[in-house]
Copies of this chain bind each other. A is one copy, B any other.
Amino acid sequence: MSNSKDIDALIDMMAKLPGLGPRSARRAVLHMIKKRSLLFIPLAETMHTVAATARECLNCGNIGTSDICDICNSEKRATGELCVVEDVADLWAMERSGVFKGRYHVLGGTLSALDSIGPDELRIPQLMNRVAAENITEVILALNATIDGQTTAHYIADQLPNVEVTSLAQGVPIGGELDYLDDGTITAALKARKSF
């Protein structure tokens, strides 16, 4: 296509990224080549570093560059509050709002009978262990307002009779996904959280 095997391979791989297709991948690669020293070389180097070091936190499932992520490592975040999210993208959305000071637990998805995803396919057993081991007094369920998200929230609440379980309340639209919300909405929803 471009008459260079490497450039074609790069376009093909970029086209597999979510939100990109063949045409936008070609545009992106041409753009990078034109901005070689300002963008392409630093991007290639950072990509190399992250590809070599990025991993899931063994405790919470967040993505970082060490076995235990910075949030789990920080004593300041041991507030007794644990925020449960479906995905790392949701954790990042919570962090951007800056309003939550505790730690997180990333489930890695939601329960789904249709897709045969039960508690053991998610990080639910680890969540139960953490609630006991980390002196958790409140579990905040920040799951998406979808049917599967709410099924998962009910399941977790049922498993935790001895700890306060709350959920994000005001501001999360029906059928909406957390990662699409603006920071202000997340802040409002967290502040107005109600008992589950």
Q: Chain A interface (Cβ within 8 Å of chain B)?
A: 1-4, 6-7, 9-10, 13-14, 16-20, 23-24, 26-33, 36, 39-51, 53-54, 62-65, 69-71, 87-89, 92, 95-96, 179
Contact = CB atoms under 8 A, between A and B. Distances in A.
A151 to B, nearest CB: 23
B50 A10 contact: yes
Contacts of A42: 13
Work out how many copies of this chain go into the complex. 2
24 contacts: A1-B95, A2-B64, A3-B62, A3-B64, A3-B69, A3-B71, A4-B63, A6-B49, A6-B54, A10-B43, A10-B50, A13-B46, A16-B39, A18-B24, A19-B24, A20-B20, A27-B89, A29-B50, A30-B87, A40-B50, A40-B54, A43-B47, A44-B47, A48-B48
A117 B65 CA distance: 47
B63 A36 contact: no
B70 A51 contact: no
